[in-house]
Amino acid sequence: MPSTYSPNLNLELQATGDHSGTWGAVLNANDLSVIDSVLGSTQTISLSSTDVTLTTSQTQNNIIKLTGVLTANVNLIAPAIGRTFFVQNNTTGVFTVTFKIAGAGATALVAQGTGGYFVLDGTNVYQGLPFGTTAGTVTAGNDSRLANLPLTTVLSSLGALPVVAGDMIAGSATNTLARLPKGSAHALLQMDGTGANPMWGTGLGVGQNWTQPARTFNTSYTNTTSAPIFISISVSSASSTTPAVFSLAVGPSNIIIASVSFSGNITAVIQSGNGYFLSASGGPPVLNGWAELR
């Protein structure tokens, strides 16, 4: 009767009367040596840009060390077995390694620069305690409760990597982080108050300069920039007896927000996308100066 093999470690289960005269040698080579490797041997695997599926012999080790320069996100795929591993991620490159079992099931990220204890149940990958810390929980595909670990470890585990200099990290959902790429010079972080991810924008006076655009009375203008602008207008009447009347209207409803008779200064903040219109009558009116911070 031929031998059979155990489902998880692939140990040879010799049948009664099998391997007469060599039974001990087969036991040593195909069972005891495998158990010894599972308890203490290390398998090194080089990664780059393609997924790697562990072979039977590779799974018969205790520690899996990942090396190489990552040029893409890769999966480390185990067969559908029940096992425990220590996986050490020594790769470089701003990409991630995901530990999974072939087919459907929960997965776990293996953070760069650290190692972790992983449990496989034939369908899911569970992450337990990382090396050198008492933090972590054994939850299918979830290591969101990591503490006292390097920042890159936490970000990688929560799906926020890769990050580069200047990037920011924001919560995008419960126990989930997202990468916010660095903004342009003088950009401001903006929130819409709904819980949506923050975004980069600009504010009044940030990255803006005073200008003196060509402007005139009774003409519509629009703030076409992505930020509010500030306008300052100096007006007067050419007549000392007949007043010139000036009114500044803004927005889609042309709301009058400032009025001057004879002479004075009109200032206002114009929101992005809003129009503005300076009406003038009488006088005759004189435009002494028009400056905009934009």
Share of the chain above pLDDT 70, in %: 78
- Contact yes or no for 286/235 (Cβ under 8 A): yes
Domains of the chain: 4-178 (no CATH), 210-293 (3.90.209.20)
What residues form DSSP beta bridges with 121? 82
- Sequence-separated (6 or more) residues with CB below 8 Å from residue 47: 66, 67, 68, 70, 74, 76, 91, 97
Strands 255-261 and 199-201: unpaired
Distances (CA, A) of 209 to 96, 206, 250: 43, 9, 21
Tokens representing 161 are: 């990597």
Q: Identify the H or E element spanning 95.
A: none
pTM above 0.75, yes or no: no
pLDDT at 139 over 70: no
What's the confidence (pLDDT) of residue 131? 46
- Contact yes or no for 181/94 (Cβ under 8 A): no
For the chain, what is the mean pLDDT? 82
In the chain, the amino acid numbered 259 is S
Tokens representing 83 are: 């096992």
- Contact yes or no for 9/61 (Cβ under 8 A): no
55-59, 172-176, 223-227, 248-252, range with the lowest pLDDT: 172-176
Q: How is residue 40 annotated by DSSP?
A: H
Residue-wise pLDDT tens digits, 260-272: 999 999 999 999 8
- Among 187, 175, 64, 77, smallest CA distance to 125 is for 77
Euclidean distance between CA atoms 163 and 140, whole angstroms: 25
- Contact yes or no for 92/69 (Cβ under 8 A): yes
Per-residue pLDDT averaged across 37-62, rounded? 93
- Among 111, 89, 108, 91, smallest CA distance to 100 is for 108
- The total of other beta-carbon atoms located within 10 Å of residue 191's CB is 12
